[in-house]
A and B are shown apart, each in its own frame.
Chain A
């Protein structure tokens, strides 16, 4: 763990805002090494929709479930678009 911290950036919690523009807007705390699926589950927990019905987008890129947030370069305080399928 210490070795990782020496060479990698220190991983801290981030907070992401997700907004479907229909009246739902949630702020979610998560780790940058969480996957998009994890984020979806967290959002689902907060909004009450099923996580597999959620689609996260930023402009025209749809985020895929198995990829980590840090790999999509999703940082603290970013806004994601929330859609339902």
Chain B
């Protein structure tokens, strides 16, 4: 209803305003409109209790809707432009709609009054302050209660305690009597027990009881019954202390003997095992020796880290009463004692000081196992041979070849030599060259042997005594020895001591004159120091003429390598030497500097003067090197590509450029260049005078053959063609 009154007020005000004509801009346009209808509206308002706007105003009169279920009642009052219901009306409406009533601030405030105080903004509640008086009262009450409780507890305690003073006299007498009674009872009991025992003894009951007890004790579980039980620990782990063993857990269905263990010891074992495993992991533990607790080396087995995996975990165990711990221990001690007895205890005083040597001494060497040396056949050299040894070797060789050659110390039978020769020749046909070479060396040895015997066998070759003496007196010194050994080393080329070719020749000649061979041996010795026999010199000179070097060289072996092939080519003149190819100095003379000289003298003087003309210092020398006048280096820089062609400057540049950039030419370019080079090659091959098919050559030969200055191009049928050819010609 309040709102209604407000509205009426407002209208009144409006009326007032209109009268005054002081209209404010703030007022809505709606109100402006009202102005026009004011006069007839006013009257209506007076008439109606509720204010209704005319239909030309923007606020529409609400007509109640009858068809709606909710059936809202027609708005009871519509004031001005805004229709609004009062709280009461709204509540009624809400009740109809099934909503809870409006919450009016006044009503709710009554409910919320419970000692809490709101702050200034009305948003938060404050906790009420403590009241001190109340607190004091509480405390007083509490203390009073506590006092009472204490008093009560003390009272109850005191009530229980008996007072001694009241019954002092009577009690002392009673106590004495009581104690006396107890004493008597005890004595009586003792006496009765004694009597009973005596009775037992009389009837022999005591013995029966005793035997019974004994049998019981026997049946009891004792050490004996433990005999044979297995204990799953190492015997040594038990010390002097007593260890409590328990039966090991096992499966219910598992059959087998009971096993005793101690859980603590089992734990220790597990710990040790894990420790060992760790060690194995960290170190390559195979290398170092392991000692057991008594200092004995543990027997090593190959790859023992896999032992447990293969054979399962090894468990130390013993059986009570069967394995004797004491004996075991003593055996171990004994072994230790033995070891100590064997050991020589070393200390500084007993051991002698020795200088350490880099080499083994003989004892050590003998200990050291030497690898068996392959016995190599030592080549027996002539100068080292004794006569006997030689003879043996000769015999061996001859017997091997089935030769009947026999050499006596006194009698040298040279008739056998040719026979042997033939033998060799036979073998030549069959055997390879190696065999032949061996044969030859053997032969030489034999000859040497013979020659060495020559001075001994004077009977065959009579010679002047003095000269033979001279022969024997060879002065040996270092140089001589050196030269002698030099002679033994076969050298290649014409250094003098190569005997092969000569020997071959000689061997062939041996058929014709034997004596000559014998005398020839001295020469054959080659590089060795020989005693020169003046008598022989003439013969030797004649011999030299006989010995001819082969005219034709051996056919060169080109297959051995490129080098050999090149050599051959060089010798045959297929290849020119590089020098010939080089452009001569004279040809390049025009390129050489015209005014190039060195001024040595002035250069130094200039410096001394204090660097007179600085520019000239860098101008270069003025005079020539007189002594180097002829020195004109001929430098030619050539580039060769992968195929070996010499490149021109342009090509070389391209080649280097490609190499430098790491990027080759394109496919087309490469093809083009290849084609070009091929064509060039063809061009070079092609003769300049003829076609590639050699037509001209053929034509000429044909003409020669036909003896005619022309040639018929077509077959015989076409005669007119010949005529044409004729006419052409």
Contacts and interface: CB of A to CB of B under 8 A. Distances in A.
Interface of A: 1-2, 5-6, 10-13, 15, 17, 22-31, 34, 38, 41-42, 44-51
B105 A23 contact: no
A12 B103 contact: yes
Nearest to A25: B82
B497 interface: no
Nearest to A30: B102
Contact of B108 (A12, A15, A30, A34): A12
Contact of A50 (B65, B83, B84, B93): B65
Given A15-B84, A45-B97, 8 more contacts: A5-B111, A26-B82, A29-B102, A30-B102, A31-B103, A38-B99, A44-B72, A46-B83
A47 B82 CA distance: 11
Interface in B59-87: 59-60, 62-65, 68, 70, 72-75, 81-85, 87
Contacts of B81: 25
A2 B112 contact: yes
Contacts of B314: none
Contacts of B65: 48-50
Given A2-B112, A12-B103, A23 B59 contact: yes
* SS of B interface (majority): loop
Interface of B: 58-60, 62-65, 68, 70, 72-75, 81-85, 87, 90, 93-94, 97, 99-100, 102-105, 108, 111-112, 114, 116, 125
23 contacts: A5-B108, A10-B108, A11-B103, A12-B105, A12-B108, A17-B82, A24-B59, A25-B59, A25-B83, A28-B90, A29-B87, A31-B99, A31-B103, A41-B70, A42-B93, A44-B68, A45-B97, A46-B83, A46-B84, A46-B85, A47-B75, A48-B65, A49-B65
B70 A46 contact: no
Contacts of B72: 44-46, 48
Contacts of A38: 97, 99
A28 B59 contact: no
Given A42-B90, A50-B65, A28 B70 contact: no
Contacts of A25: 59, 81-83
A30 B84 CA distance: 11
B111 A31 contact: no
Contact of A1 (B59, B60, B97, B111): B111
Nearest to B97: A41
Contacts of A22: 60
A25 B62 CA distance: 11
Nearest to B107: A12
B70 A2 contact: no
A31 B112 contact: no
Nearest to A5: B112
A13 B87 contact: yes
Nearest to B65: A48
B82 A48 contact: no
Contact of B84 (A11, A28, A51): A28
Contacts of A17: 82
Most buried by A among B73, B74, B84, B100: B84
Contacts of B87: 13, 29
B101 to A, nearest CB: 9
A6 B125 CA distance: 8
A31 to B, nearest CB: 6
Contacts of A28: 84-85, 90
B414 to A, nearest CB: 143
A44 to B, nearest CB: 6
A48 B93 contact: no
B306 to A, nearest CB: 76
A71 B670 CA distance: 85
Contacts of B114: 2
Contacts of B75: 46-48
B62 A47 contact: yes
Contacts of B59: 23-25
B90 A51 contact: no
Given A2-B114, A38-B97, A42-B90, A31 B102 contact: yes
Contacts of B97: 38, 41-42, 45
Nearest to B83: A26
Contact of A46 (B62, B68, B104): B62
A12 B83 CA distance: 21
Given A25-B83, A26-B83, A27-B83, A45 B73 contact: yes
Contacts of B70: 41, 44-45, 51
A5 to B, nearest CB: 5
B83 to A, nearest CB: 5
Nearest to A12: B105
Contacts of A42: 90, 93-94, 97
Contacts of B99: 31, 34, 38
B63 A23 contact: no
A48 B63 contact: yes
A8 to B, nearest CB: 12
A47 to B, nearest CB: 6
Contacts of A23: 58-60
A23 B108 CA distance: 36
A47 B105 CA distance: 27
Nearest to B79: A27
Contacts of B58: 23
5 closest A-B pairs (Cβ-Cβ)?
A: A45-B72, A27-B84, A13-B102, A23-B60, A12-B105
A5 B102 CA distance: 16
B17 to A, nearest CB: 21
Contacts of A44: 68, 70, 72
A10 B70 CA distance: 30
B287 to A, nearest CB: 81
A45 B105 contact: no
A2 B85 contact: no
A23 to B, nearest CB: 4
A29 B90 contact: yes
A49 B68 CA distance: 9
Contacts of B116: 6
Contacts of B103: 11-13, 31
A31 B100 CA distance: 9
Contacts of A1: 111
